[in-house]
């Protein structure tokens, strides 16, 4: 590898050269490692001409908006505006079941929120932002559009990561992607150099399209999102209690749009099935499913069925990548 201090200094110079002295920049913070490190880097380069926005798209995890905004304020000292766009996103996703269609809609909706945020800024500071910061990583680039000569034998899109192929072509904002050549572990190292709190850098990756890729099919159907949030929270809390969080690359629950028969409190039930997924990985390009102890799985499964109304069956995903991807959509 590269020396991360050099990468940092070089990136800061590149950003300063790219962004003119009067230019203003928007950065969409997701609460994840990548966008936070990207924002911190750009903040070092151009100071308060950076304007961060956190979009509540209705596809966030349990209490995520409150948690993330608190961290930004108290630990990261980044200036962030929170935009509530739940209605916009969810109404556009209503009835949409195709995974790629969902991703495209979300990418488009994000851009329209950024555009509006830009117009608000123009009214406030008299200047329209011209750049958008994205925390795109090297694996996102490879999987969305493999560069020619990269040696990879697939030339088609695996998934259009919304921060790469998913963005609309007519977007007016120019992109700044300072992490485009880095892998996740390198981004974490860069974050350490930039003094991003270590607890933050250890967070599991969370995809830009959020829970939309973890509710299979129509995300607005019934109370799928609420159920998923509760199940996911129970699973992640159990992983943390067991001291396993840092051993796992990523863990989450998936909502399946099917029902199965169960018996709960002497009653026949016809309720939802949820899946648990946990994987280890170096860079997200390949991954192995994580083998929990029986006792752990037994406890989690019981807790989920006891506490979450509408769930009577829990299954575990025991597939690696390949042949599966990490997310289900
Ligand atoms: P897959 O599911 O393609 O995921 O094996 C590999 C890694 O990338 C994350 N992921 C995304 N991250 N925007 C992101 O920022 C996206 O659209 C997106 N899709 C997947 C996924 O969570 C995993 O860590």
Nearest to 215 by CA among 226, 205, 206: 226
Confidence (pLDDT) at 155: 40
Q: What is the DSSP letter of 212?
A: G
Nearest to 50 by CA among 74, 78, 69: 78
DSSP code string of 53-66: EEEE-S---TTHHH
Confidence (pLDDT) at 165: 45
Confidence (pLDDT) at 150: 46
Q: Is 184 in the pocket of ligand 1 (CB under 6 A)?
A: no
Model confidence over 5-60: pLDDT tens digits?
999 999 999 999 999 999 999 999 998 899 999 999 999 999 999 999 999 999 99
Q: Is 259 in the pocket of ligand 1 (CB under 6 A)?
A: no
Q: Would you tell me how many other CB atoms lie within 10 Å of the CB of residue 83?
A: 18
Model confidence over 160-174: pLDDT tens digits?
665 544 565 667 889
Model confidence over 126-159: pLDDT tens digits?
999 999 999 999 998 888 765 555 443 334 556 6
Lowest mean pLDDT among 6-20, 106-120, 138-152, 189-203: 138-152
Confidence (pLDDT) at 277: 98
Confidence (pLDDT) at 160: 63
User: In this structure, what token pair is assigned to residue 47?
Assistant: 């100071």
Mean pLDDT value across the chain? 92
d(CA 242, CA 239): 5
Of ligand 1's listed atoms, the one at least distance from the Cα of 162 is 17
Interface predicted TM-score of the whole assembly (ipTM), two decimals: 0.98
Greatest CA span in the chain, whole angstroms? 70
Confidence (pLDDT) at 79: 85
Query: 327: CA distance to ligand 1 center in Å?
Result: 7
Confidence (pLDDT) at 142: 85
For ligand 1, atom 6, name the residue with the nearest CA.
284
For ligand 1, atom 12, name the residue with the nearest CA.
207
pLDDT: is 193 or 145 the higher one? 193
pLDDT at 251 over 50: yes
Helical residues (DSSP H) of the chain, grouped into ranges? 4-18, 33-46, 64-71, 86-93, 99-125, 138-144, 184-193, 198-201, 224-241, 294-307
What is this structure's pTM? 0.90
Q: Is 159 helix (H, G, I), strand (E, B) or coil?
A: coil
pLDDT at 319 over 70: yes
Cis peptide before 323 (omega within 30 of 0): yes
């Amino acid at each position: 590898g590269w020396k991360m201090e050099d990468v940092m200094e070089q990136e800061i110079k590149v950003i300063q050269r790219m962004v003119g002295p009067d230019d203003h920049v928007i950065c969409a913070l997701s609460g994840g490692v990548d966008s936070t490190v990207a924002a911190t880097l750009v903040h070092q380069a151009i100071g308060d001409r950076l304007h961060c926005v956190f979009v509540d798209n209705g596809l966030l995890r349990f209490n995520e908006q409150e948690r993330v905004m608190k961290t930004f304020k108290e630990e990261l000292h980044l200036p962030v505006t929170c935009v509530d766009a739940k209605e916009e996103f969810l109404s556009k996703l209503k009835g949409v079941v195709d995974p790629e269609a969902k991703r495209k809609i979300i990418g488009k909706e994000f851009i329209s929120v950024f555009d509006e945020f830009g117009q608000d800024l123009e009214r406030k500071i008299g200047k329209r932002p011209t750049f958008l910061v994205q925390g795109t990583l090297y694996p996102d680039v490879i999987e969305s559009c493999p560069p020619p000569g990269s040696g990879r034998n697939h030339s088609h899109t695996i998934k259009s990561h919304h921060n790469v192929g998913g963005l609309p072509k007519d977007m007016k904002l120019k992109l700044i992607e300072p992490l485009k050549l880095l892998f996740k572990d390198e981004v974490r190292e860069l974050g350490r150099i930039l003094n991003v709190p270590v607890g933050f850098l250890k967070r599991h990756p969370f995809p830009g399209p959020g829970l939309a890729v973890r509710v299979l099919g129509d995300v607005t159907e019934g109370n799928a999102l609420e159920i998923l949030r509760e199940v996911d929270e129970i699973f992640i809390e159990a992983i943390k209690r067991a001291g396993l969080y840092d051993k796992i690359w990523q863990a989450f629950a998936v909502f399946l749009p099917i029902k199965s028969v169960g018996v709960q409190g002497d009653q026949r039930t016809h309720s939802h099935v949820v899946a648990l997924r946990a994987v280890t990985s170096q860079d997200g390009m390949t991954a192995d499913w994580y083998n929990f102890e029986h006792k752990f799985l037994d406890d989690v499964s019981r807790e989920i069925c006891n506490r979450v109304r509408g769930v009577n069956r829990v299954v575990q995903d025991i597939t690696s990548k390949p042949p599966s991807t990490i997310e289900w959509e």
